[in-house]
Amino acid sequence: MLINIFRPILKAIAIKVLPDSLQVTLWRLFRREVPVSYGYKVINNNTSSELLRGWQDPIVAKKQYEAFIPILQQMREGKPREDFIAVAKAVKMTELEAPFIIEVGCGSGWNSEVLASLLRHPVRYLGLDYSSAMAALGKKCYPNIPFVVGDATALPFQDGVCDILLSGTVLMHLAGYQKAICESRRLAKKWCIFHTVPVMQRRATTKLSKYAYGKPVVEVIFNETELLDLMRQNGLTVRYSFDSVPYDLSFVLHEPTLNKTYLCEITD
């Protein structure tokens, strides 16, 4: 019981004091497996090229795919995770019967299955990812769905090409998130969904470095007021927001954080 009480304190101390390699050793010692994400550090606005390339590593694609196998199985058994429920709710609230959805940051395309399962009808879906390895996995897992390799900050599509632009748990991994929001709005006819976005209330939007599936990546935690202002500047009005999978980084940011999914309507 005492270890549970002091765990957050010990975690914060470890992050500040111990090198990343030793943190991994301790995780393996006490938990017998390395967490998906670890080694969080606040960084300045200069983002190294190494952090920008992390998600393109084929090892990351493989490990992420493997991590989602049991999560998807739980959904198939009637126990969908919070983020799956949130994205399905967001699509349902558009009241579109058969929308064409482009998901940016699709990974191996699991949201195509999630939406079809929870909405109880097939969806017209195209997946785009920055990682060619993730797009290739998507084609293997869901052979009847098209996948494209592309950059969220310069999407390779014409204006207004989709009914819903789904930014799928990717905004937090983009150093150029401002441009990504602009591009999302450009592609959508009426609706944008920004899915599983980590937000906080007091601290300004902050960039972190971390290890995801063992590779260094950048992560952005948004001040919610700043994020909503940026959406408004791009002609997007938040119609609904939904709680997504819990994600508390108070041990590094010194205030609670949580994930939200935003359904935005184009109003300008």
Looking at the structure, tell me whether residues 102 and 233 fall in a common domain.
yes
Write the pLDDT tens digit of every residue in 139-176.
Answer: 999 999 999 999 999 999 999 999 999 999 999 999 99
Looking at the structure, tell me whether residues 112 and 129 fall in a common domain.
yes
Look at residue 34 and tell me whether its pLDDT is greater than 70: no
Write the pLDDT tens digit of every residue in 52-81.
Answer: 788 999 999 999 999 999 999 999 999 999
Looking at the structure, tell me whether residues 42 and 27 fall in a common domain.
no
Look at residue 6 and tell me whether its pLDDT is greater than 70: no
Look at residue 25 and tell me whether its pLDDT is greater than 80: no
Looking at the structure, tell me whether residues 110 and 236 fall in a common domain.
yes
Looking at the structure, tell me whether residues 137 and 190 fall in a common domain.
yes
pLDDT of residue 31: 52
pLDDT of residue 268: 85
Q: Any idea what the CATH number is for the domain that residue 40 is in?
A: 3.40.50.150
DSSP conformational letter for 211: E
DSSP conformational letter for 48: -
Q: What is the mean pLDDT of residues 7-18?
A: 50
Which residues, other chains included, contact 89 with Cβ-Cβ below 8 Å and sequence gap of 6+? 240, 242, 261
Q: Whole domain around residue 75: which residue ranges?
A: 36-266
Q: Residue 25: which H helix or E strand, with range?
A: helix 20-31
With 0-12 / 13-18 / 19 or more C-beta atoms within 10 angstroms meaning exposed / middle / buried, residue 124 is: middle
Looking at the structure, tell me whether residues 22 and 76 fall in a common domain.
no
Amino acid at 74: Q
Question: For 169, phi and psi rounded to 5 degrees?
Answer: 50, 40
Q: Which of 5-19, 97-111, 254-268 has the least mean pLDDT?
A: 5-19
Looking at the structure, tell me whether residues 29 and 137 fall in a common domain.
no
Where b means 16+ CB within 10 Å and e means fewer, 42-72 reads ebeeebeeebbebbbbeebbebbbeebeebb
Name which of 233, 266, 237 is nearest 159 in CA terms.
266
Count of the separate structural domains present in the chain: 2
Looking at the structure, tell me whether residues 71 and 142 fall in a common domain.
yes
DSSP conformational letter for 173: G
Looking at the structure, tell me whether residues 31 and 44 fall in a common domain.
no
CB atoms near residue 224 (< 10 Å): 19
pLDDT of residue 195: 98
* pLDDT confidence tier of residue 221, bands split at 50, 70 and 90: very high
Q: What is the mean pLDDT of residues 27-32?
A: 48
pLDDT of residue 35: 72
Q: What is the mean pLDDT of residues 94-113?
A: 96
Looking at the structure, tell me whether residues 82 and 147 fall in a common domain.
yes
Q: Which residue has the tokens 């992560």?
A: 219
Q: Which of 2-6, 86-90, 114-118 has the least mean pLDDT?
A: 2-6
Looking at the structure, tell me whether residues 247 and 129 fall in a common domain.
yes
259-to-36, 70, 180 alpha-carbon distances in Å: 17, 21, 18
pLDDT of residue 1: 45
* pLDDT confidence tier of residue 36, bands split at 50, 70 and 90: confident
Q: Residue 125: which H helix or E strand, with range?
A: strand 124-129
Residue 59 and residue 62: Cα distance in Å, rounded? 5
Look at residue 19 and tell me whether its pLDDT is greater than 60: no
Looking at the structure, tell me whether residues 161 and 258 fall in a common domain.
yes
